[in-house]
Structure 1
């Protein structure tokens, strides 16, 4: 039987072609090499990196810490020259003392005005008593005048005394009204003086807060980043002194939307850490981002303009790290990892 020319060369070529196709299918996880394990290398270790900055401006006079040092909450990281702030606190306390003295003086004035009212009431009672006597004298002398027993001059004297007594009573009434009005005016200033005291107290508290803020302390336990400030440097509110990184760690994996089928909270996760020579650690899916990463971008793409090319979006997934793993203590925020999640489980 005759052999086809070139058959010996065709078989190896076919084998190479089939092997290439199978390799491409395997690399892209296409049938028949599909798997329920979804993997991504777009994943990183995350942590609570807190930037430490002052709230007041001034010159740094002390920095007792160094780069990458372990600190406890409340430890002193830097100190700003507080002489100006101490003087402002003394000034605020003096203003508070003056306001409190004015309020105390108002109490003295109130008692004085109330005493004046008591005096005017006593004068009114005395004037009313004099008026009653003058009216009684007039009633007694009127029949005698009509009978010509008393002289007209005596009658004129008695009537004049009555009118004088009436005027004295009216004057006493007016004095009492003036005293009451003076007391009302004095009491009306209480609200303003009390407000001045509260304002002075608030100024004292603000000055105390500024003095406290000259001491820049660690907000929580952790490890410092690079200490970028130096003694003698002038800093303002918001100037970065250093950073504090607590021990809390987690992983954020950015999966393509085509890989999310079957994923749910609680699924076990295996991730390999590049910095640990590919060592594997475990964790669990904690929660899913409410939107893809492109939605949180500062400059968002507008797909309604120009030519459109569909690009698979990625959804961040937060992964908790299982406790009691010796290598977990070596993880640092920013490390690259490769995450694998078995959606078939």
Structure 2
């Protein structure tokens, strides 16, 4: 009798716990793709991740670049992500000594090939490879475009590449982005976060940069095809302008249904990344380049102008002298 009562009691107590343990996508964190403090590792190895370039780790932060010129740093996950639908949350901070001029920014990647940067001209996209294959979400702090953007910086943009597109740094990638939005994430005293969600062939980026403890949608891009089995990474770079770029945590969640057929994800393993839509302006239009004769032409026109003015003054002087002589003759 006591045994049966004990079993009944345990059943009643444990039932709420069982009921609350039903599947929840937000609780299924992929630990092999995540990185949480305190950080432990040695050398360039860190909790399933690798550090590249100027990046180094303490117990509480990973600094991709210091506030110094010409730095490139990267943080790359060693394990590919096989989820078709996933979500990535990054706790970060961008700050520096610059008041009006600072840069360049950092990028979050889901790509086929983890970057081997720094080193070489190919490492031109915020410390990672140009002509990459996959998705890049770029958090750009400096406006490189001499023309006029219809947005403010700092700026977040998403780019999907199959290996054939060039990220035009001088145009801030505006002709190849699938979507973008302004977000004032630099120089905040409080914590700043960005979340990238890929679900149902749609990339959505959220931010929490206003210390509201709530996500605000920044951009969304439907019609995005991404394969499974790609790698996550975060890279940053400075040039003549500088900033400190730090990462405090990376959390990746599996959004696939637990009863989803594994064959569905397998079908996505070998597809090429693609986007059904690119934001205007998609086409790159070069700035008009001055011809070799432009300087000579300007000098020639200035010289002609001086000669014309001097000639006019000379002729006017002669005319004035003759007029005075004619006036004297009439008086005498």
TM-score by length of 2: 0.21
Q: Which has the higher helix share?
A: 1
Larger RCO, structure (CA 8 Å, separation 6 or more): 1
Q: Which has the higher strand share?
A: 2
**Larger of the two Rg values belongs to structure:** 1
